[in-house]
Amino acid sequence: MPAAELMQNPVWEGRDLGQPIPASTHAVSVALPRWRDVVGYEEKTAEVMARLSSGYPRFVVHPLVQKIAKEAGAGEPCLPFPSRRAAELCAGFVGRVNGAKAQVVAAKDLWLVSASGTGNNALRAFWQHAGLIVSSRQAQAHLEGRGPGPDDEAIRRSLRRQLAGFYDCAEDDVFLAPTGMAALFAALQAALQRTPGRPTAQLGFPYVDTLKLQQKLGPGGILLHHLESIEVKLRSLLERERLAACFCEIPGNPLLGCADLRTISPLLRRHRVPLIADDVVATSVNVDLSGHADLIATSLTKFIVGTCDAMGGALICNPKSPLYSELKAIVLAQHEELLWGEDARVLERQARDFPERMKRHNQNGLLIAERLRGHPAVERVWYPKWEFSEAYEAVRRPGGGWGALLTFLPRDAQTSSPRIYDKMPFCKGPSLGAVFTLACPFTLLAHYTELDWAEACGVSRYLIRLSVGLEEPEELWQRLEAALR
């Protein structure tokens, strides 16, 4: 079922478990329609795993990619990568993590990393956290013996030009990546090349892999999760040691709060520490980070594509940054063009109407957030309009909105959250930013093996995250209210 049809006919019932969302070979979400399905997915129960046809590509290796790996691995764990450098980075990571020997072998246009059985977990961890993956479209082309298309570079150039317009920068300030995590990884690598061996800091509770990236693929990531006291704690941290960079999300996922860049940015610039900002949730339509961030990383997989069927990312070197020339030279020297042309084509086409779509997302998101906030069955709603709102307002563009991602906690959540989630007649699975509404019990999906730690950071295991789509808003609310009843 195409993405637009899912607005009226969502994939949400138990019988839909494991179906791709949307019904495409290249879908990036998968139906986990019941609370127990999410638990089964996390615990890898046979009942659930047997039903999964696909999943989010960094977490569940796509069947076409698995086919390449199986043919090349000769029984050993194996994954393909889009370049020799990416494969060698992976092999080096596998060796550092558990000492397993990893081999890099060329296979036409791909590079394969095979490891001994003990290296499988490290191999998969690099794939997930670094984001330097082979997309389903690239895997399909490889299996069919097709190489890059003759107009791939023209398509990527057009995509970079559109993104440059969104970010008020030059086309050559935009560096494309195969995923949003790969864009963040490129930012981390640039920071570490500039300041080797030094840790980074995460400002505010982040999306799971943003922190794992720093902790596992860098010298260490220091989490400063209390937004109320970040400036004081960061000031103290900077007095004790030098940082390679600070990462922040504007706003954070899933708690939708922001660090106050009006105070953070001057502090970091005095210490010449780069600020790497992730604007995936707000998007460039709603916020302007050019007065504060040195590098901006974004995922094109989410709101920009909107159809939930293509992966991509971008790293933007901010021309207004005092570190612009220094950082851009590093990013340029390490950059490889790894966004597959067929994915770029989808992203380029979808980016054309992204600003108009995002305005409608803003309207629907605000309406649902306000009504949830006033509903007697809801204990709390997290949304950028209310979470550390002054910090968000300081970077909100004139006419910009508050986005379409919100998180809520039902009253008596231990018993009511599973029931409400099961009854929600929306698509239910990972990812966000689609034209159709997409829900998930975020903490279970992202932090199942560390739920106590997440709750210690203020992130309840019973949260429900809602990425509000472009359905007719009153109909959308009626469906949600019925589940709350």
pLDDT along the chain (485 residues), means of 10: 87 96 96 98 96 93 94 84 97 89 91 88 95 98 96 98 98 98 98 98 96 96 95 96 97 97 97 98 98 98 98 98 98 98 98 98 98 98 98 98 98 98 97 98 97 96 98 97 96
Residue ending a domain, among 101, 134, 167, is 134
Structure tokens at 87: 């494969």
Domain CATH for 181: 3.40.640.10
Same structural domain for residues 199 and 238?
yes
- Is the distance from CB of 233 to CB of 265 less than 8 angstroms? no
Examine residue 238 and state whether it is found in any structural domain, yes or no: yes
Kindly state whether residues 237 and 358 are assigned to the same domain.
Answer: no
| 404 and 451 share one domain | yes
Of 71, 105, 134, the position where a domain reaches its end is: 134
Q: How many Cβ atoms from other residues are within 10 Å of residue 415's Cβ?
A: 11
C-alpha distances (whole Å) from 119 to each of 62, 72, 75, 198 are 20, 16, 13, 26
Question: Do 199 and 269 have their domain in common?
Answer: yes
The answer to whether 63 and 54 are in contact (CB under 8 A) is yes
Nearest to 324 by CA among 431, 171, 173: 173
User: CA dihedral defined by 89, 91, 94, 99, rounded to 10 degrees?
Assistant: -130
Query: Does 321 fall in a domain?
Result: yes
Same domain? 301 vs 399? no
Whether residue 126 sits in one domain with residue 192: no
> Is 74 within the bounds of a domain?
yes
Is residue 143 a part of any domain in this protein?
Answer: no
298/428 same-domain check:
no
Same-domain pairing of 67 and 198: no
Q: What's the structural domain count of the chain?
A: 3
CA distance 258 to 261: 8
Q: Is residue 10 part of a domain?
A: no
At 202 the pLDDT is 98
Would you say residue 1 lies in a domain?
no
Half-sphere exposure of 292 (CA within 13 A, CB side): 25
Cα 216 to Cα 477: distance, rounded to the nearest angstrom: 41
Which CATH number is 370's domain given? 3.90.1150.10
Q: Are 372 and 346 within one domain?
A: no
Q: Is residue 8 part of a domain?
A: no
224 and 358 assigned to the same domain: no
Q: What is d(CA 381, CA 379) in angstroms, rounded to the nearest whole number?
A: 7
* CATH of residue 101: 3.30.70
Exposure string (b/e) for 436-471, b if CB count within 10 Å is 16 or more? bbbbbbbbbbbbbeeeeebeeeebbbbbbbbbbbbb
Final residue before a domain boundary, out of 303, 324, 351: 351
Are 373 and 345 in the same domain?
A: no
431 CB-near residues (< 8 Å, 6+ apart): 28, 29, 56, 301, 302, 308, 438, 467
Backbone torsion region of residue 77, taken as left when φ is above 0, otherwise alpha when ψ lies between -120 and 50, otherwise beta: beta
- 325 and 445 housed in the same domain: no
Pairing of strands 313-317, 174-177: antiparallel
For residue 183, is it within any domain?
Answer: yes
Tokens of 434: 């689609």
Structural domain that includes position 371: 354-484
